[in-house]
Structure 1
Amino acid sequence: MPEEDFVKGFYELKTDLLKRYFSPSQDEYFGSPIAKMIESLDVDSSETSTLYKILDGALTDALYTVLLGLDGEASIGDNNQQMYKLFNEAGNELTNSGEIESYAWEYFHNPK
């Protein structure tokens, strides 16, 4: 898996989570507890839009920071910034090239 596909997977995770949070399922197994909490707020569409933007921003911050942390460009918790080595299934290193940081910016802050 190349660096771009790795980062894209995190971006798709964010997109899927937001979709699940704002599309409650009646099925207990597949339904998201967060979706049920949002639904229970019984807010109007403007407030729902604001809540969506808040959660979108929070997930972006969290996932973007994790990706940069794995690439050694940000700290992960307690100001512990260090380099990590992450390898794909073919044994190719994904970190230490700066590609994760570049793709993370592209996907999370400048989506296509």
Structure 2
Amino acid sequence: MNTEEFVQGFYKEKQDIIKEYLSRKPTTSVGALIKSLNLSDHQNKIMEEIINNTCTDIYYSILLGLEGSAAIGGVQQRYDLKDSSGNQLNDGDIGGYAYEYFQETN
């Protein structure tokens, strides 16, 4: 795995979560709660935007925090991230890929 694949994994998780939360047959408690609201099509679109923007903020912040560009819980430091094969995942470009995936393609 490389840095871009690492960030892509977070982006894929975001997309999967949004899809699950807005599913007609949700399997999560959040999805079930949203479904229970019986939202109109217009309201569903707004809910999708809310969830998308919330997830973008969260994942982007976590990735920048891991890189050391932002604080996690008030502590700002760079973390040494490696996959099980020893490949360095935090090569200093997490922020660039995070911006590309979470801000440009949001």
SS at 1:105's partner residue?
Answer: helix
Task: Say whether 1:51 aligns with 2:69.
Answer: no
Deviations 1:43-97 (A, max 9, x none): 11111111110111010000111001000011012x21111110122213222x3
Aligned residue pairs, count: 106
Tell me the percent identity.
Answer: 39
Q: Could you tell me which of 56, 61, 65 is aligned with 1:69?
A: 65
Instruction: Identify the structure with bigger relative contact order (alpha carbons < 8 Å, sequence gap 6+).
Output: 2
Task: Say whether 1:108 aligns with 2:102.
Answer: yes
Q: Is the 8 A contact 1:24 1:36 kept in 2?
A: no
Normalised by the length of structure 1, the TM-score is: 0.88
Normalised by the length of structure 2, the TM-score is: 0.93
Q: RMSD between aligned alpha carbons?
A: 1.5
Once residues 84 and 95 of structure 2 are traced to their aligned partners in structure 1, the CA distance between those partners, rounded to angstroms, is: 20
Q: Which blocks of at least 5 consecutive residues in structure 2 are unaligned?
A: none
Q: Which blocks of at least 5 consecutive residues in structure 1 are unaligned?
A: none
Runs of 4+ deviating beyond 6 Å: none
Q: Could you tell me which of 62, 82, 88 is aligned with 2:83?
A: 88
| TM-superposed deviation, 1:24 | 3.5
- Counting helix residues as a fraction of each chain, which structure ranks higher? 2
Q: Is the 8 A contact 2:3 2:88 kept in 1?
A: no
Once residues 69 and 103 of structure 1 are traced to their aligned partners in structure 2, the CA distance between those partners, rounded to angstroms, is: 14
